[in-house]
């Protein structure tokens, strides 16, 4: 499974990219706004840090505006993926942009039918919002399973990008359900790397090691 980082914070992107676990980045208008920076400037900087897909979202609500913004956003960098909401206007915009070779990510998506239509109009990714769906007492993980099955049934090349990952358990469930990608906030990526048992294990090894006389504790001579 590919791992994208769900943030517009360039320090966090640098930090997790250095570890080697980040294949791409997703942003949205709220994440960009939380950085208090100019949209284009942030997106350009992200593209210099990560050599992989970078999703940047349109803000227009009608197809014509989405198409116009999508074309402009796509020109920022070859790795840009234009993020477009799963609305009737959004499907129309994705249909036009995908025929122009512009990569798209259909976002704020909550049903297998929306995913099917997104694939039909040539979306590169669909982003089911798993955590937000769970918050309405509907299983986000089941939605991922359904979309993966639908895409497999018809050999769609559209990738399932599990989004709204609220904690590390969501990521595990997305991986088990066959999501191609999960986009994960920095704090959840951090959580995924940690286990108290690992820390205790390492501590135990060192405690035993330190029982050796000091002159025998040199590893390399």
Catalytic site residues? Answer: 83
Of the candidates 137, 138, 114, 134, which has an alpha carbon nearest to the alpha carbon of residue 126? 114
Listed residue (54, 46, 18, 30) closest to 181, CA to CA: 54
Burial code (b: 16+ CB inside 10 Å, e: under 16) for 105-144 equals: bbbbbbebebbbbbbebbbbbbbbbbbebbeeeeebbebb
Q: Match 């906030």 to its residue by tokens.
A: 185
Interface segment toward ligand G3P; rule CB under 6 A; list 89-97, 125-133, 136-144, 212-220: 125-133
For position 58 contacting ligand G3P by CB under 6 A, the verdict is no
Q: Applying CB under 6 A, does 183 fall inside the site for ligand G3P?
A: yes
Residue number, 26 or 104, with CB nearest to ligand G3P = 26
Residue 147 in contact with residue 123, Cβ under 8 Å? no
Site residue total, ligand G3P (CB under 6 A):
9
Among 163, 171, 174, 181, binds ligand G3P (CB under 6 A): 163
The 10 Å CB-count burial string (b at 16+, else e) for 190-203 is: eebeeeeeeeeeee
In this chain, which of 164, 177, 181, 189 binds ligand G3P, going by CB under 6 A?
164
Q: What are phi and psi of 52, to 5 degrees?
A: -170, 180
**Interface with ligand G3P, residue 125, by CB under 6 A:** no
| Cβ nearer to ligand G3P, comparing 151 with 170 | 170
* Nearest residue (CB) to ligand G3P, 93 versus 130: 130
Nearer to ligand G3P, 28 or 141 (CB): 28
Site track for ligand G3P across 25-44, x = CB under 6 A: -x-x----------------
Q: Residue 141 interacts with ligand G3P (CB under 6 A)?
A: no
Binding site for ligand G3P (CB under 6 A): 6, 26, 28, 129, 131-132, 163-164, 183
């Amino acid at each position: 499974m590919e791992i994208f980082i769900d943030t517009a914070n360039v320090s966090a992107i640098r930090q997790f990219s250095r570890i080697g676990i980040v294949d791409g980045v997703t942003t949205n208008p709220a994440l960009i706004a939380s950085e208090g920076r100019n949209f284009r400037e942030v997106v350009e900087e992200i593209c210099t840090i990560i050599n992989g897909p970078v999703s940047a979202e349109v803000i227009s609500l009608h197809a014509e505006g989405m198409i116009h913004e999508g074309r402009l956003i796509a020109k920022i960098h070859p790795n840009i993926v234009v993020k477009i909401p799963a609305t009737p206007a959004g499907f129309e915009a994705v249909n036009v942009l995908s025929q122009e070779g512009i990569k798209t990510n259909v976002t704020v998506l909550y049903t297998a039918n929306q995913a099917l239509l997104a694939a039909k109009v040539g979306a590169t990714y669909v982003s089911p919002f798993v955590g937000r769906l769970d918050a309405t007492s509907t299983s986000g993980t089941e939605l991922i399973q359904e979309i993966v099955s639908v895409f497999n049934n018809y050999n769609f090349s559209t990738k399932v990008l599990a989004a709204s990952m609220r904690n590390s358990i969501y990521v595990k469930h997305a991986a088990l359900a066959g999501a191609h990608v999960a986009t994960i906030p920095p704090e959840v990526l951090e959580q995924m790397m940690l286990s108290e048992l690992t820390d205790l294990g390492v501590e135990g090894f060192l405690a035993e090691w330190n029982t050796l006389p000091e002159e025998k504790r040199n590893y390399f001579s």
